[in-house]
Amino acid sequence: MTRIHMDTEAVRETARLLDWTCGELYYMPPKLKNLAGSLSSAWQGGRSGHYAGELRRMGEILQREVINLQRLAIRVRNEVEEWEGADAAFGKVISDIVNTPEKSDVPWWKVSETLRGFVEDIGTIGSGLAISSLIGGMAMGASYTGQVIFKGGQSLKEMAGISSHLTHIKAANLPGHLLTQSKNIQGMEILMGVWEFAEKGAKDWAQYEKGSERAAALSIDALFVAGTAVTTQYATYAITTAGVSLLTAAGAPAILVAGGGLAIWWGGSYLVKSAIDTGYEMAESSGVKNSMVKAGGSLFENIEKEIQKTAEAVDRFFEPVIQNSQVYEM
């Protein structure tokens, strides 16, 4: 199992040094431009134009790299804040569990929901880090148009959501590959699904007393958990395909298309799942789910009655036959 560790203080210091370096380099491009102007004035003819042009070009390159360095510093600082936020959330979860009175009114599934949310957040952060690392190691290929080469170990690729054996792909085909990989359900995903269903099932079992309503509630919970996974996959695929198509149409390089596709898939999965969970909570709080459970419970009861009536009719139909058989045997 892949372990991810971060020394937040050391990484924060790195981010601070990156900021400081950006500040030091910020004024260098204008200075190079001024030097190029001074060189053109002081030296005319020969290769003076060539050297002045090189100075200007290096100044432009340096300016772009300073901007990239600033963005990297921001990303590193944000990663530290996310890790510290996740660590604080986990500490609160453990504190709530340890400090919960023995006869607390808080049901166990409330604590379980908090713990499961923390585990999901850790998975989201881990996949985001993997995608960032994967994007940083991508390279352009020359074997066919739009080829992108992926570098990195198998574990890194799996965490990023692509096949562990994928070494290159056409950038425009990345959404389809991500969709295919998302359908290969892993053990952790099964565990999270069972975990969520158990929470919702326990809550509904305590809320409803009639067996038919419990059966209806559990059916709704099972459909929700399974439907969430499928809906998230295809909705994220549609969003990612649209994003990749826009980048391709805009003439973006293949690396940018592929990197954007991975980022959109990661962010889209999180947003779609969050939207579905919010919708479920609204359905619970507004009474919509309760109405569905009541209606489902009535349906199950009617089905049970019809089955019982059918069984009684069958018994009445065969009763003379059974009696005659008994007389004949005598």
CA dihedral 7→9→12→13, nearest 10 degrees, is -110
Q: Is 202 found in the same domain as 61?
A: no
Among candidate residues 82, 117, 133, the one where a domain is terminated:
82
Residue in the structure block whose two tokens are 């067996």: 211
Final residue belonging to a domain, choices 50, 82, 114: 82
Same domain, 174 and 277: yes
Per DSSP, helices labelled H in the chain are 8-25, 28-42, 48-99, 108-136, 154-160, 174-183, 187-207, 211-249, 254-285, 288-329
Angle at 244 between CA 242 and CA 246, to 5 degrees: 70
Would you say residue 315 lies in a domain?
yes
Q: List per-residue pLDDT tens for the chain, 330 residues long.
A: 444 556 667 767 777 777 777 776 777 777 777 777 776 677 666 666 777 777 777 777 777 777 777 777 777 777 777 766 665 655 555 555 555 544 445 566 666 777 777 777 777 888 888 888 888 888 888 888 889 998 878 888 888 888 888 889 998 898 899 888 887 766 667 777 787 888 888 888 888 888 888 888 888 888 888 888 888 888 888 998 998 999 888 888 888 888 888 899 988 888 888 888 888 888 878 888 888 878 877 776 777 676 776 766 666 665 665 556 554 444
The pLDDT value given to residue 105: 57
**Residue 199 CB neighbours (<10 A):** 21
Q: What pLDDT was estimated at residue 321?
A: 58
Domain residues for the domain of 314 are: 168-329
Q: Which backbone phi and psi does 148 adopt, to 5 degrees?
A: -125, 130
CATH number at residue 35: 1.10.287
Rounded CA-CA distance 324/320 in Å is: 6
- Alpha-carbon separation of residue 327 from 185, 315, 316, 321, 323 (angstroms): 62, 18, 17, 10, 6
For residue 197, how far is the Cα from the chain centroid?
19
Please report whether residue 102 resides in a domain.
no
CB burial of 159-170 (b: ≥16 within 10 Å; e: otherwise) equals bbbbbeeeeebb
Q: Which of 82, 112, 142 is the last residue of a domain?
A: 82
Contacts for 236 with CB less than 8 Å, ≥ 6 apart: 178, 182, 265, 268, 269, 272
**Cα 307-312-314 angle, rounded to 5 deg:** 95
First to last CA, the chain: 73
Cα gap 317→314, rounded to integer Å? 5
Q: Which of 274, 271, 189, 280 is nearest to 238 (CA)?
A: 271
Does residue 71 belong to any structural domain of this protein?
yes
As a whole number of angstroms, the distance between CA 221 and CA 149 comes to 42
Q: How far apart are CA 287 and CA 239, in angstroms?
A: 31
